[in-house]
């Protein structure tokens, strides 16, 4: 296993790098994506587990804009780390080296535990690649593909879950379809070995920059579309502790509650006429 797995990325967060990037993020926020945001008063004091649904390919511009909002409101003193897909640490090492300086850590249960036990809040996008590359027709859907690890963390460490949702970022690329199952069959015939060595769980076909038509989870440059982000009210559960985190039925119940509540909030966001005027 590489050095990232054993916690290297947890030591790389650099407040000076974050401060240097703020003017660039501010330009993207104000002029490129023209972000409208709300709900930041919903974040309680202390540690939280931020749980988001992200959009727009590997660039995930809504995630970056959420990070900018966090830093401009809380500075670099309120410690927070964001879980980044393991593929990124293998395939895009130049990017992840910089991302680690802004607080990105490898998406791994042990890394999340280390971050929480260090006193930090943690940002997680449970849907991963399947979420960020979901087809355009599913742009208004919460897609966590059954991943419940974040629920177990919240229960084990008694953390409130703060949902993050967004609208618009999924139009920064146009995902036509996910060809994963079809390509998986071709892989068994000896084709596409390079991508399946990384185990991406998705193989999108999409229209976007810089490729025009892209096949596979390739990095992208997001189009300058307006975005709306929203921080929802925190979710507290009835029971916490290690025992609760091992109760499969209870974990499922909590997972369903989070997904359903986030879907309701996202439906409201898409129907909100105040944000619809830009679409």
Task: List, in order, residues 6 or more apart from 120 with CB less than 8 Å away.
Answer: 47, 79, 80, 81
Question: What ranges in 12-121 are assigned the alpha helix state H?
Answer: 15-27, 61-74, 86-91, 93-101, 109-117
Please report how many Cα atoms fall inside a 13 Å half-sphere around the Cα of residue 97, on the Cβ side: 4
Tens of pLDDT, residues 43-80: 999 999 999 999 999 899 999 999 999 999 999 989 99
Amino acid 231: pLDDT: 98
- 254 near 151, Cβ under 8 Å? yes
Amino acid 6: pLDDT: 45
Amino acid 84: pLDDT: 83
Lowest mean pLDDT, pick from 17-26, 136-145, 194-203, 209-218: 194-203
pLDDT band at 98 (very low <50, low <70, confident <90, very high): confident
Mean pLDDT, residues 95-107: 84
Mean pLDDT, residues 196-219: 84
Amino acid 18: pLDDT: 95
Tens of pLDDT, residues 209-245: 999 999 888 889 999 999 999 999 999 999 999 999 9
- What is the rounded distance in angstroms from the CA atom of residue 205 to the CA atom of residue 181? 13
More confident residue, 95 or 92: 95
- Between strands 121-124 and 36-38, the pairing is unpaired
CA nearest neighbour of 204 among 232, 238, 159, 173? 173
- Between strands 121-124 and 49-52, the pairing is parallel
pLDDT band at 114 (very low <50, low <70, confident <90, very high): very high
User: Going from the N-terminus, what domains does the chain have, and what CATH number goes with each?
Assistant: 8-174+222-276 (3.40.1130)
pLDDT band at 277 (very low <50, low <70, confident <90, very high): very low
């Amino acid at each position: 296993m590489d050095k990232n797995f054993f916690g290297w990325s947890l030591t790389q967060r650099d407040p000076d790098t974050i401060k240097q990037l703020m003017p660039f993020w501010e330009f993207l926020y104000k002029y490129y994506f023209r972000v409208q945001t709300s709900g930041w008063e919903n974040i309680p004091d202390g540690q939280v587990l931020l749980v988001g649904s992200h959009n727009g390919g590997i660039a995930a511009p809504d995630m970056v804009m959420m990070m900018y909002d966090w830093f401009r409101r809380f500075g670099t003193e309120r410690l927070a780390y964001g879980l980044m897909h393991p593929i990124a640490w293998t395939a895009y090492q130049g990017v992840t080296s910089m991302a680690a300086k802004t607080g990105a850590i490898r998406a791994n249960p042990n890394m999340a535990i280390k971050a929480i036990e260090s006193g930090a809040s943690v940002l997680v996008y449970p849907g991963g690649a399947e979420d960020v590359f979901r087809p355009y027709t599913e742009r208004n859907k919460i897609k966590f593909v059954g991943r419940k690890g974040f629920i177990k963390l919240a229960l084990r460490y008694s953390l409130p879950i703060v949902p993050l949702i967004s609208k618009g970022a999924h139009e920064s690329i146009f995902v036509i379809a996910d060809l994963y199952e079809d390509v998986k069959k071709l892989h068994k015939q000896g084709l596409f070995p390079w991508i399946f060595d990384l185990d991406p769980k998705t193989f999108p076909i999409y229209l976007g920059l810089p490729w025009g038509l892209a096949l596979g989870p390739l990095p992208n440059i997001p189009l300058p579309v307006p975005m709306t982000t929203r921080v929802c009210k925190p979710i507290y559960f009835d029971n916490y502790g290690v025992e609760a985190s091992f109760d499969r039925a209870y974990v499922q119940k909590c997972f369903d509650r989070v997904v359903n509540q986030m879907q309701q909030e996202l439906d409201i966001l898409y129907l909100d006429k105040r944000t619809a005027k830009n679409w």
